[in-house]
Each structure stands twice: as structure tokens, then as C-alpha cells.
Structure 1
């Protein structure tokens, strides 16, 4: 039996935890970066059937490369990609942190290449938590690229919180087709149409005793300029001009950002409350509680109505 081939001294060991553990029994090598990772073989086998096969694969006599008595698995990925992958393979992630989205895509590609299903799930969970509320369009592009349809749907819905049609170019749009982006825009437009309609068509309103329907002071000063129909085909005059203005502004806002968060935009609500308190002594005594109740109901209606719109 010939002796094992000795590893070149050009390769550097990464000795940060967990890659300095004394129980490490195999080396994963980044050929492109010339970096070695000392890892525990059982973690690799459990995480990836591809790596398990590589560990079990018999090698020709005399060709088995070794270093410090440990077998070497040479891989083509760079050391940053492999470090992230390997950390996710260890219990509790072993300090794995999510890199910027462009680099995360490279890591995700490698995870898919080696059938690291658990790593894919863990990464997708972290990416969703990081980007859903701050950069939903970036998340949509990422999820679309990798066929993660649940996350794609969630991200698309979160884009309703922003005026999508005014968005500038982002690098992540290169990951998806023009068709995917157009369908997202059409989804946004349809949601905007049904949400903004709620500010004009008040069939969903069940309560007829709001102050803007009953205020005699507003009726005396402004008259009735808007008649609406609420539930059960009941016609109500809107006496408060400040509330008409609020609903007009809200309708425009919902067309651009058809989300419950838009209804709860404190800036829009505060402006209406300020007008009510300045214009009418009667309204100011009731408006805070009744506007809070009304906006909660409107937000629920926006949520339910837009949920019925399907992203294709």
C-alpha cells in the first residue's frame, strides 16, 4: 500500500470555532481560496446526501489526499461560501450570520447544489426575517429566483406597504424575468383598486352613529355635501367636511399602498384629527375614539379584500 499524498503547505487552516474542535475528523477544502476547514464528518453526512456519498466514496490507492492524518474533501466554492454553509450544518448554526443578499444567493446556490435542505430552510427563514419588512421587493426577487413560492407570496403581499410603481431599479431584479415583475405590478394595481374603493363604497360600514354622520354643528356650518350608502342599503349624509377630506386622502393613499398599514399611518390620521378638533367643538369630544374604531375596521376590510387578489 502506497503512502497517502501529503497536502500542500499553500492551504491555510481556518481555526475559528467551530473549525478548531479537537474531534474534527475530516477537512473540507476550498480549492479556489486555498482554505481548509476541519469539521466533524457526521454533521456533513447528516446535512447533505451529496457530502455523505463523497465521504463514503472509495478512492484509488495512492490518490487519497490527507493532511495531519485527516482525509480532504476538495470543493470549488470559495471560503466565504463554504464557511457559511458549514456553520449552518452545525447545531444551532454555530454562529452562522446572514450575509448581504447578493452573497446569500451564492450560498443558497451552493446549498441547493449539495442538497442541503436544512440549510436552505434555515437560510430562507433568516432572509425572510431580515428583509420582509424593510426590503420586500428584494425578498420577492430572491424567493422567485429560487422557486420559494410561499416566501414569494408573503413578500409580494408585503410590497403592498410601499408605492411599487415608483420604485427605482435594484440589482436583484436581474434575478427574475420581466414577466414576474409585471405580474407583481399587476397584483399591486388590482389590490390598489379594491382597497381604494373601500374609501368610496361604504357598504362594509355597519355603524351609523359616527359623529361625522350626526354632527349638527358641522351640518349647520358646512351643510351635507356627500351622501353615502352603508350596510343594509342605508343612506347617510356626511356632515363633517374634515371626514370627507380624510376619506379622499385615504383613498389616494390606498391606491398607492393598499395595505392595512396605510390605514394606520398616524400621519394621515393625525391630520384628520387636527382638522376635526380645529373645526368643530362637537366632533372633538368624540372623534378620537370613533376614528380609532373606524380605522381598525377599515384596516380589516383592506386586509380581507386584498387577500382575495391572487398573485399569478
Structure 2
């Protein structure tokens, strides 16, 4: 929808006037602002010119002479905002009592409109009201600031949430604080790291990720909370070197084996058969049909120009033919294939790309999790979440190797993952008999070092992952009112060999070890089985 004001049709009726002073009580209004819900606000150009450079510029242009689109012979301007927003905004411009804006929910639309219409004083006043809520609702303020691209406000909200007075400013060159020191500081913060507000659901996972990084002290260099994750990560890690184009093979080089040309964005020719492509894709069928007019290639064949790269088209076109599935080398290749396959509605290509994404769970589980969540791939989402929950620090979600998928995924997906991992860690700790104070539970939510305490090595991590996967699989096939029964003998260390100098003692020791492990693993398995993702 066009966000700029427009002149309505004269046939559109006015339903009701705005409240005083926007009801033209004295008959001196010279323009009408009509809200999206049909309320007419009778206002004065002189005041709007002073309050808004946007309207000052509009009123400097020649005004329409025709009476079409006018109400009471006044020029009427349709705007996108509703009655409450416009009423509050205009009261900030007029010499009347300022509106009451008690919550972030009330403030955000007014602030957005003030910014949109270049109302500097109104923007300042509403921003002050927003900042007044920092100590009560820092996450709501942060979410609103991200949605409105207000960097300084987002920073202040992040600082309040982190319990710091601004020592870790965006431009700070202060050295990173050690984990041990940060842990002792975090225990005194007003807001636990796992605090969350539903207003955060509407920001991106990248914006939530940057907030948590800032709070944990992992963002010492300058960052923008609402900028793209890719730009943020370049501040934390060196930019990887560009890789050279990879050579690829495809069977579409022979001009005698095709009756149409598909041209890539780099003008590479692919000779293919119309009928096969048309059967595979209704979208390509329409493009092929339109190519008969003015789309000739060099060999007097019709040509269709597609914006995809050579490598993407080479794989995509093979999946339109009755050929074996081509190799998808990287997740970037799978990403490009999935985008193209979805665009052209090629079902087989979508499935092949999805299978490659599933394989990527063991390479880049966080990236797969975000993509799978966004596309509603529940199986891939759950498996990736489990991989992340039991991964070690170098592959953890607090590692700065997060990809741009975060900016395309809502924050509640990352929240869901963090809560799941926190519950897994808590279940393991409680099974081991650990008593967890509130601050420790919070650290299990985000602290990348917490897994080192609960899961001391990679072998233990893989072991617990397999136990959880087994328990989850059993719960998935459980019928209604059926009791869950887990057989954990397959996980027991039967390979333990007792000393051979005393067979009876050795056997007793072996049985004791096995029974102890059976009890421990059983307790963990049943505890993890209760955790729903």
C-alpha cells in the first residue's frame, strides 16, 4: 500500500468528524485529513506547515482547482493511519493538552506516524514517552525501536535489559569480559537473560540474537541492533574470501537436443525440450508459450531468459528431465535451488532441495533450523533443534557464524529453540542431582559455556543426543492413554570388562556398574521424553 496521502473520490462519504479542536467549530479550517477508518479531521495548513516538513512541502505545490475529492469545499487528504493515531499526533502539534500514551502499544503507531510525516517536535515528545517506559518494559521498547529503525532507542533498551549504564556503548573498544567475570555480573542484573515479551515476536531472530549477544558481552565492536545479521557478523569475524565459480556438468549443451533455449543471467544457453519443461512446471509452460513472440535465439530457436545463475539452472533443468538426481554440493546451492523451484513450481526440485537441507542439519544445524521453521518443515525443525541443543561451543548458537536466515525468520523461532535447549539442560542437571538457582537456570538459556559443565565432552554430547532422539521417537508413536516404556539397554556400556583375577568379584562389579548406569540413563531418558518442542 502506498504510504503517501492521496486525494479520495468525491463519492466516498464522510462518516463523522474528529473531536475538538478538529471538528471545525469556528469554521476556519482549510484542509481535511481523513483517517483510514473514515474520520475527518478539520485542520489548519499554517499549523501543519510549522509542525511537519512533509506537509509544508505538500502545501507548497499547486493545489487542485476541481471540487472533486473535497468535503465542505475543503481539500481532503486520505491518510493510512487510523483515528486514534491521527488524533494523538495532531494534538501534539496543536496548542492543546498532549494525548495520554501510557503504553508502548499506544506510543508506537503515533511515533511511526510522526517520523513518517517529518514532525520533529512530535517525534521528540513521543520518543521521550517511549524512553520513560524503559525500566518497566525494556523488551517492548526494544521491539518498537527495531520496528521503527531507531538505533539510539534500541541501544538504550538493550542497555537497560542488560543492566548496564552504558559502559558497553556501540562504539566501545573495551576488551571482551571473561566468561567467569560476566557470569558474576549477570547474577545482579534486573532482567534475566531468558526474560521475553510477546512484542518481540514481531522482530526478526537477528534482532533478538544481537540483543542477547550485547547482553552477554559478545558484541564489543560497534553494531546496529536493527541492521542485517550479515553486516553485524562482518564486525565480529573477518569477511570470508570469495570462492571462485565452480565448474558444473549438464546435458544441455547440444543444440540438436532441444527445441527451445533457456538463457541464464550470464547469457549461457541451455538447449531443452519444451514439452518436458511444460510438464514439469506450469510457470515455465507459460513462459515458453510467450517466447514464440520476439524471443529468438541464435539457432533460430525460441529463447526464454531467466534471472537464475548457470549452476542453479543446470540443476533445476535436470530435475525437469527423467534423470538421476544431481548432486547439490552446498547449502547455498540448496538455497538457490529451493528459491527457483518454488518460484517455478517444480515439485521434484523442491523435494530434492529439501532433502539436501535435511542433510545440512549435521553441517549447519542453526541455518537449517531457521529455514525449516520458516517453511513449516516440522521434521527438519525438530531434528535441527536437537542437534543444536547438544552441540558443543564451536557449533553453538552463540557462535558468530550465524547466516542471513535470521533476518528472514521471526524472533519467536529463536525463542522457541532457546527454551527447548534450556529445558534439555535443566533436565540433565536435575537428573544428576544438581540444585539450580534462578540465575543458573537463566544461564542455561543462552550461556554457551553451560553445556561444558553438563556435557563435558563431544562423546557425552552425542550420547545424550541419541538418548533424546530415541525417547522422542517413542513418544511420537505412543497411542492415546498408552504408557511410555523405554528400553535403554541398548545404551548401556556392556563393553566394560572387569578385572579377571577374581571372576566372582568381577561379575558383581560389572553388574553394579551396569545397574547404576541403567538407572541414570533411564532417568535422563524419561526426563527428556517429557520435553516437547
TM-score with structure 1 setting the length: 0.61
Q: Call closer, same or farther: CA 1:146–1:196 in 2, change over 3 Å.
A: same
Q: Give the structure with the larger strand fraction.
A: 1
Match for residue 104 of structure 1 among 330, 334, 356 = 334
TM-aligned CA deviation for residue 155 of structure 1: 1.6
Q: Call closer, same or farther: CA 1:290–1:122 in 2, change over 3 Å.
A: same
Matching of residue 39 in structure 1 with residue 272 in structure 2: yes
Alignment partners' CA distance in 2, 1:15 and 1:141? 29
- Secondary structure of the residue aligned to 2:251 is coil
Q: How does 1:1-312 map to 2 (within 5 A)?
A: 16-20=249-253, 22-30=256-264, 32-57=265-290, 59-60=292-293, 63-94=294-325, 96-128=326-358, 130-163=359-392, 167-172=398-403, 174-175=405-406, 176-200=409-433, 252-253=454-455, 259-261=465-467, 284-287=509-512, 289-290=514-515, 293-294=518-519, 297-298=522-523, 300-306=525-531, 309-310=532-533
User: Is residue 197–residue 251 contact of structure 1 (8 Å, CA) maintained in 2?
Assistant: no
Unaligned runs of 5+ residues in structure 1 are: 1-13, 202-248
Unaligned runs of 5+ residues in structure 2 are: 1-246, 435-450, 471-491, 500-504
Alignment partners' CA distance in 2, 1:299 and 1:42? 57
Mark the structure with the bigger radius of gyration: 2
- Secondary structure of the residue aligned to 1:259 is helix
- Secondary structure of the residue aligned to 2:308 is coil
Alignment partners' CA distance in 2, 1:114 and 1:87? 14
User: Is residue 260–residue 302 contact of structure 1 (8 Å, CA) maintained in 2?
Assistant: no
Q: Call closer, same or farther: CA 1:93–1:40 in 2, change over 3 Å.
A: farther
Instruction: State the number of aligned residues.
Output: 236
Alignment partners' CA distance in 2, 1:259 and 1:15? 37
Q: Call closer, same or farther: CA 1:92–1:152 in 2, change over 3 Å.
A: farther
Q: Call closer, same or farther: CA 1:70–1:159 in 2, change over 3 Å.
A: same
1:250-285 Cα distance to aligned partner (Å, 9 max, x none): 99339x966345899xxxx88xx69x97xx867534
- Secondary structure of the residue aligned to 1:27 is strand
TM-aligned CA deviation for residue 57 of structure 1: 3.2
Query: Over the residues paired in the alignment, what is the CA RMSD in angstroms?
Result: 4.1
User: Is residue 282–residue 344 contact of structure 2 (8 Å, CA) maintained in 1?
Assistant: yes
Alignment partners' CA distance in 1, 2:452 and 2:307? 54
1:45-102 Cα distance to aligned partner (Å, 9 max, x none): 1221100111233744xx23133242211111121221121122222445x2213223
1:145-179 Cα distance to aligned partner (Å, 9 max, x none): 44434422332233232257663022425433443
User: Is residue 196–residue 250 contact of structure 1 (8 Å, CA) maintained in 2?
Assistant: no
1:175-220 Cα distance to aligned partner (Å, 9 max, x none): 334432232111211232234333449xxxxxxxxxxxxxxxxxxx
Alignment partners' CA distance in 1, 2:282 and 2:405? 31
User: Is residue 102–residue 172 contact of structure 1 (8 Å, CA) maintained in 2?
Assistant: no
Q: Give the structure with the larger helix fraction.
A: 1
User: Is residue 282–residue 345 contact of structure 2 (8 Å, CA) maintained in 1?
Assistant: yes
TM-score with structure 2 setting the length: 0.38
